């Protein structure tokens, strides 16, 4: 049943609605506009008077310095990948990079609100993005150069192919220390290796080393693609394990046609 006492039913023809619950839409736009043009908001977005020379100099220098700092931070995180013994720990480095990018972005967004720190905020956001970009690019370069100890090298090795794995030790290693290394790490040769010998004097470059010869008959001697893939994976895993030892400076694979 309709309520005839309602204000809507008690109006005479042509009488305007003066109920506060029915606010005209035309008043909403000016209200929002007045917020953006209020003195408090304008004080944040624009200076009350001209910008000083020192402020202009700061606005020019701050973004550049922060951008360079972002690149340096990305290089720092990238360098950490060369000292990490396992991929499990490397995931925390990547997490740190992402967290740094987000943190710098949030701080930059906050500083964007005030005219005095607006350019500083832009610099922080750019620094965060450059940190992430530098890390991503540096990681790919290190991977291409085979400088990440925990990452299996992308080697091209076919079963039946003549090849050898060279282990180079750090400078200052003595022959006794090399013998201890062999006793602890290579007391049993991998199933793909034929022999183990010292690195010839003309290849040492002043540092001691070892040579493992890859057996030409390992994994079916190249008669199947599966054997070649198993050989490449096992040799790659062996190289990663040797690189993790602090006494080793480099592990190389040399193939012959």
Question: What CATH class is the domain 163-255?
Answer: alpha beta
Split at pLDDT 50, 70, 90, the class of 243 is confident
Residue 162 near residue 172, CB atoms below 8 Å: no
Which range of 32-46, 77-91, 184-198, 208-222 scores highest in mean pLDDT? It is: 184-198
Residue 193 near residue 215, CB atoms below 8 Å: yes
Delimit the domains of the chain by residue range.
Answer: 53-144, 163-255
pLDDT at 49 over 90: no
Name the nearest CA neighbour of 82 among 243, 251, 252: 243
pLDDT single digits (tens) 94-104: 999 999 999 99
Copy the structure tokens of residue 130. 């450059």
pLDDT confidence of residue 12: 54
d(CA 231, CA 212): 14
pLDDT single digits (tens) 169-181: 998 899 999 999 9
pLDDT confidence of residue 245: 87
pLDDT at 8 over 50: no
Copy the structure tokens of residue 172. 């200052």
Residue 165 near residue 235, CB atoms below 8 Å: yes
């Amino acid at each position: 049943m309709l309520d005839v006492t309602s204000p809507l039913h008690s109006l005479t023809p042509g009488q305007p609605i003066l109920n506060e619950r029915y606010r005209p839409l035309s008043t909403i736009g000016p209200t929002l506009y007045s917020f953006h043009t209020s003195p408090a908001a304008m004080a944040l977005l624009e200076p009350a008077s001209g910008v000083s020379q020192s402020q202009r100099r700061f606005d020019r220098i701050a973004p550049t310095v922060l951008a360079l700092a972002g690149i340096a931070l990305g290089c720092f995180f990238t360098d950490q990948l060369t000292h990490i013994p396992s991929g499990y720990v490397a995931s925390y480095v990547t997490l740190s990079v992402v967290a740094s990018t987000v943190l710098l972005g949030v701080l930059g967004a906050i500083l964007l609100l005030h005219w005095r720190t607006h350019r500083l905020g832009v610099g922080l956001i750019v620094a965060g993005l450059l940190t992430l970009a530098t890390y991503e690019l540096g990681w790919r370069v290190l991977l291409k150069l085979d400088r990440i100890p925990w990452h299996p090298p992308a080697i091209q090795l076919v079963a039946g192919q003549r090849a050898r794995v060279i282990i180079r030790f750090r400078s200052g290693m003595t022959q006794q220390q090399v013998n201890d290394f062999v006793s602890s790490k290579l007391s049993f040769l991998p199933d793909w290796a034929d022999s183990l010998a010292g690195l010839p004097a003309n290849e040492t470059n002043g540092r001691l080393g070892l040579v493992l010869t890859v057996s030409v008959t390992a994994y079916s001697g190249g008669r199947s693609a599966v054997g070649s893939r198993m050989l490449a994976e096992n040799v790659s895993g062996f190289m990663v394990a040797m690189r993790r030892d602090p006494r080793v400076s480099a592990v190389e694979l040399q193939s012959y046609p």
